[in-house]
Amino acid sequence: MSAETPFSEGVEDIERKRKIGRAFVAICFASTLVGIVALVALIADVLYESWGWVTWEFLTYPPSQVVENFLPDGRGAGIYPALVGSIFLIALTAVFTIFLGVGAAIYLEEYAAESRLKSFIEANIANLAGVPSIVYGLLGLAIFVRAMQLGTSLIAGALTLTLLILPIVIVSSQEALRAVPDSQRQAAYGVGATQWQVIRDVVLPRALPGIMTGTILSLSRAIGETAPILMVGAATSLFVAPDGLTSPFSAMPMMIFEWAGHPEPEFQHIAAAGIVVLLTILLLMNLVAILIRNRYDPRT
């Protein structure tokens, strides 16, 4: 014992600590890879299953009960009514969301004083963001489909999706409005503008890129939502595209749900083909949002 230096115990300890440290980094790094590997596996699985099934016919033909029609050399069957339904649904939702979401954000950021009312509304919005989407489906079913007698229509679906994504759109629009420097508002007031003129001509144009980015991102979330439109009564097998606000509709997630549940193995490929179409549109929407952000980002 006397032969050992006073530091030998410490040296061993450092060695042990180094080992623990290296093992810990390795575990943390491996965990980070779990999510990425899962993402790669998911995309690879979908592409593998759908390979050769996403054809022009798949995009332009109505669905069929007969598997053979979907085959790449079959008579032709596909996702067309649901594709058009999803596009209509998102366009309508966009109109309602932009109006309500930006309006609410303007009220909260530009008009409301720091009051109990404002913090109540904001706390309420934060809570709404955590309500499961299927509950919004029940709300839509009871209010839009039954009470307002819109039936299982495109507009009932769009209104339901609007309420679902409204909290996210409001919060992101608020951030965009908050990012407009106060000096610009004061300058406009200084030359005699009214509050509405300040908002319309000074604040909104500058906040627009941020508002659009947030809105497109939440719309891309809405386009993949199944549960709420399912509760509202979106059709699983509709053979014509919707042609008006009150016509029945299907949407891509509903078709995918229908196909994925079929026992015949071919429907796996068909569901995967539907997913590829859905994810492509989602990706394009995200791309647009990123482009807008990069194009107008004041920091770049």
Partner 1 sequence: MGGLKETAIRSVFFSCALVTVLTTLGIILVLVQGSVGFFQEVSIVEYVTGTDWSPVIQPRSFGVLPLIWGTLIITVGSALIAIPVGTATAIYLSEYADPEVRKVIKPTLEILAGIPTIVYGFFALSFITPIIQRVFPETGTFNAAAGAIVVGIMIIPMVSSLSEDAMSSVPDDLRNAAYGLGATKFEVSTSVVFPASLSGVIASYILALSRAIGETMAVTLAAGMHPQITGNPLEPIQTMTAYMVQIGISDVSVGSIGYQSLFAVGLTLFAMTLAMNLFSLWIKSRYREEYQ
The piece of 104-112, 176-184, 204-212, 241-249 that touches partner 1 (CB under 8 A) is 104-112
Tokens of 141: 């079913």
The piece of 21-29, 148-156, 205-213, 239-247 that touches partner 1 (CB under 8 A) is 21-29
Give the nearest distance from C-beta 102 to partner 1 in angstroms: 8
Three-class DSSP labels, the chain: CCCCCCCHHHHHHHHHHHHHHHHHHHHHHHHHHHHHHHHHHHHHHHHHHHCCCCCHHHHHCCCCCCHHHHCCCCCCCCCHHHHHHHHHHHHHHHHHHHHHHHHHHHHHHHHCCCCHHHHHHHHHHHHHCCCCHHHHHHHHHHHHHHHCCCCCCHHHHHHHHHHHHHHHHHHHHHHHHHCCCHHHHHHHHHCCCCHHHHHHHHHHHHHHHHHHHHHHHHHHHHHCCCHHHHHHCCCCCCCCCCCCCCCCCCCHHHHHHHHHCCCCCHHHHHHHHHHHHHHHHHHHHHHHHHHHHHHHCCCC
Give the nearest distance from C-beta 75 to partner 1 in angstroms: 25
Binding to partner 1 (CB under 8 A): which residues in 120-179?
120-121, 123-128, 130-139, 142-143, 146, 163, 166-167, 170
Of the two residues 212 and 278, which places its CB atom closer to partner 1 in the complex? 278
The piece of 1-9, 56-64, 68-76, 116-124 that touches partner 1 (CB under 8 A) is 116-124
Residue type, position 75, single letter: R
| Count of positions on this chain that bind partner 1 (CB under 8 A) | 86
By the rule CB under 8 A, 25 interacts with partner 1 = yes
**Choice from 47, 87, 112, 193 touching partner 1 (CB under 8 A):** 112
Give the nearest distance from C-beta 245 to partner 1 in angstroms: 20
By the rule CB under 8 A, 63 interacts with partner 1 = no
By the rule CB under 8 A, 220 interacts with partner 1 = yes
Tokens of 51: 């390979």
The piece of 20-28, 63-71, 80-88, 181-189 that touches partner 1 (CB under 8 A) is 20-28
By the rule CB under 8 A, 198 interacts with partner 1 = no
**Choice from 8, 12, 15, 17 touching partner 1 (CB under 8 A):** 17
Helix-helix angle 80-97:266-296, to 10 degrees: 30
Give the nearest distance from C-beta 143 to partner 1 in angstroms: 6
Binding to partner 1 (CB under 8 A): which residues in 264-283?
268, 271-272, 275, 278-279, 282
**Choice from 63, 101, 209, 248 touching partner 1 (CB under 8 A):** 101
By the rule CB under 8 A, 256 interacts with partner 1 = yes
**Choice from 11, 28, 148, 179 touching partner 1 (CB under 8 A):** 28
Tell which residue, 123, 99, 112, 109, has the closest CA to residue 178.
109
The piece of 68-76, 102-110, 201-209, 238-246 that touches partner 1 (CB under 8 A) is 102-110
The piece of 31-39, 73-81, 182-190, 238-246 that touches partner 1 (CB under 8 A) is 31-39
**228: Cβ contacts below 8 Å, ≥ 6 apart:** 133, 134, 136, 137, 140, 157, 160, 161, 164
By the rule CB under 8 A, 51 interacts with partner 1 = no
